[in-house]
Structure 1
Amino acid sequence: MREFRDARQFKAVVQNYAKAHNIQNNQIGVLWKEIVLDDLLERISLSKYRNNFILKGGFLLSSIVGISNRSTEDIDTEIKGFDLTKEQIIEIFKEICTIMPNPQDPLMIQLTDCHKIHENGTYIGYRLYFDAIAFQKLRFNIKVDVSTGDKITPREIKFKHHLILEDRDINILAYNVETIVPEKLETVLTRSIANTRLKDFFDLYILLKQNETVDFSILARAFNNTCKYRKVQYYRNGKIDFDYCNSTIKLIENNPKMNMLWDSYTKSYSFAKGIRFNDTIVATQYWLNQILKNE
């Protein structure tokens, strides 16, 4: 991170950034966390482990579509090249925290806790917690999820992440859009009307609006791989049951609770204001149709 004279200047720069990007209310607190995550990600990119961590999830989406269009409070990564133990991941991140991107970097970041993540009773990785302090006055808590096993189709990409408070990029490994969309779509279809993660719908919508270049043949293959790996009920005998998928989308679209949850989501996140739930359903259906066409 760039040098700041003191805490007052640091806060002023962040406040000006928030104003320029129409980031308001509770999202300003999220912005502070994203700035700290930015700094930690650069430390990862400068470490000897930079080719072992693959960025995914909300932070990657924020980087793709712009921080004013999508926010997050943590970093999600996939790790490769390691059969991790808790002790190993702790030592790796302790080492990463000691890296200073700039000798005058105001942030001191310290690992405080680490525990296993389980999903549906299955171990999928580790969640790490960090404290960050700047000028002995500004304190932040952030977390990083490190998982293993998910299928990236065909492989991770080299990605340029633009730093929030500086006009420069860092190089990291990341998921491709052709894998991001299928993972989001699978979550929407599998959770159906029990889904309380409205960000999944928003992400499918914003990725379509962003006009990212997508190879639809890879997208279809990635969706197939994701469904097979996650053993979803609509993947049978090596094929996707698209009738089931289409009926699930229709069920979600017409469910009053899902529509109410979306209204609540748009009130909580300014970047979603003005987007109708039906807009996200149209985007979800679009992605599924493209997969079906390219099967």
Structure 2
Amino acid sequence: MVNVQGLLQKLKEKSRKEGISYQFMLQLVCQEEFLRRLANSRYRENLILKGGLFIFAYTEFSSRPTMDIDFLMKNLSNDQTEMLKVINDIVNMETDYRFIELRVRSIMNITEQKDYHGIRIKMVGVIANTKTPFDIDIGIGDVIVPDAESRKISVQISGFESPNILTYSLESTVSEKWDAIISRMETTSRMKDYYDIYYLAGHYDFDGRILKDALLNTLSNRKTFFDETTIVKVSDMYNDDDMQRRWKSFSRSSLEIDLEFKVVVDMVVQFIGKPMNAIIKEEDFSEDWYSKDRTYK
């Protein structure tokens, strides 16, 4: 069993070895512990991991790092008082790692423009003399195609228990990011949506029929407008000067790599274009996406 000082030493060693900041390692361990307590709680079926941390964990921590935890909530109230009780119940669950202390700092409503507002909980993880803030964002009302998946989340330190929780599907993850792209178009500041679709399309194969169903369900559920010009507009995004500036800033700060925005946009359009055209034309779509070839067959 690793004690608190042993944990901090292992995190420092891993930070030096892998070139990842010590603060980010602390954040991942605190988030991992929240997921572990969720997995052991009666709310395991109610909070479904999604977003950046889901992608980061799914890809074995090789994709874009993220700061927050995102969940889809099922069959619980979005009242702040009720949600605070839920989070405190989770935080107070017993695990073998109680030297990782989790505290709630504040709670607030978010996405109030939607039919049902979400909740943001500001947390802090305390390990010995370290304090690590992170947010938990909880949304409601979205759909998952084909369904939520039970998944073991990899851990940072060998020997620690892997949390077994419910997560999104990759298809609905892509669909929600596509929805964010086309609902904001050139006004978006969310360059991460382009990158995440680009990354997933470049590393994973997809069943085209399931992806088409996920796209249709997400766009219909969110009442997002689209037509035959939508793909064309997205394909032209790399010509927008403001979008180019935002992309350069994002790639420098979040990716630390030199990746042309045009390359990313072209991949997104190549990946999403065929199933979207099938949706628009109300046609069946049965081709599969092959990441190695970056095409449908």
Distance 1:285 1:218, change over 3 A: same
Instruction: Quote the residue 1:22 is aligned against.
Output: 19
Instruction: Quote the residue 2:185 is aligned against.
Output: 192
Instruction: Quote the residue 2:295 is aligned against.
Output: none
Matches within 5 A, 1:1-295: 3-6=2-5, 9-24=6-21, 28-102=22-96, 104-120=97-113, 122-135=115-128, 137-166=129-158, 169-211=162-204, 213-234=205-226, 241=227, 243-269=228-254, 271-291=255-275, 292=277, 295=285
Q: Which amino acid aligns with 2:2?
A: E
Deviation at 1:272, TM superposition (A): 4.8
Please identify runs of 4+ aligned residues in structure 1 that moved more than 4 A.
Answer: none
Instruction: Say if 1:21 and 1:68, in contact at 8 Å, map to a contact too.
Output: no
> In structure 2, what is the Cα distance between the partners aligned to 1:160 and 1:134?
24
Deviation at 1:182, TM superposition (A): 1.0
Partner SS, residue 76 of structure 2: coil
Map Cα deviations across residues 5-50 of structure 1 (whole Å, 9 max, x no partner): 52xx4333222222333325xxx43332222111111110111111
Distance 1:225 1:5, change over 3 A: closer
Q: Which amino acid aligns with 2:67?
A: E
Q: Which ranges of structure 1 fall in alignment gaps of 5 or more residues?
A: 235-240
Deviation at 1:221, TM superposition (A): 1.1
Instruction: Say if 1:30 and 1:72, in contact at 8 Å, map to a contact too.
Output: no
Map Cα deviations across residues 223-273 of structure 1 (whole Å, 9 max, x no partner): 111111111221xxxxxx2x222221133121122112111112112x450
Deviation at 1:122, TM superposition (A): 4.4
Instruction: Quote the residue 1:237 is aligned against.
Output: none
Percent identity of equivalent pairs: 22
Instruction: Say if 1:56 and 1:174, in contact at 8 Å, map to a contact too.
Output: yes
Distance 1:287 1:184, change over 3 A: same
Partner SS, residue 142 of structure 2: coil
**Bigger mean CA offset, 43-52 vs 247-256:** 247-256
Instruction: Say if 1:178 and 1:216, in contact at 8 Å, map to a contact too.
Output: no
Q: Which amino acid aligns with 1:132?
A: G
Instruction: Say if 2:122 and 2:135, in contact at 8 Å, map to a contact too.
Output: yes
TM-score by length of 2: 0.86
Instruction: Say if 1:3 and 1:105, in contact at 8 Å, map to a contact too.
Output: no
State the Cα RMSD in Å: 2.0
Deviation at 1:289, TM superposition (A): 2.3
TM-score by length of 1: 0.87
> In structure 1, what is the Cα distance between the partners aligned to 2:235 and 2:270?
13
Instruction: Say if 1:112 and 1:130, in contact at 8 Å, map to a contact too.
Output: yes
> In structure 2, what is the Cα distance between the partners aligned to 1:119 and 1:258?
26
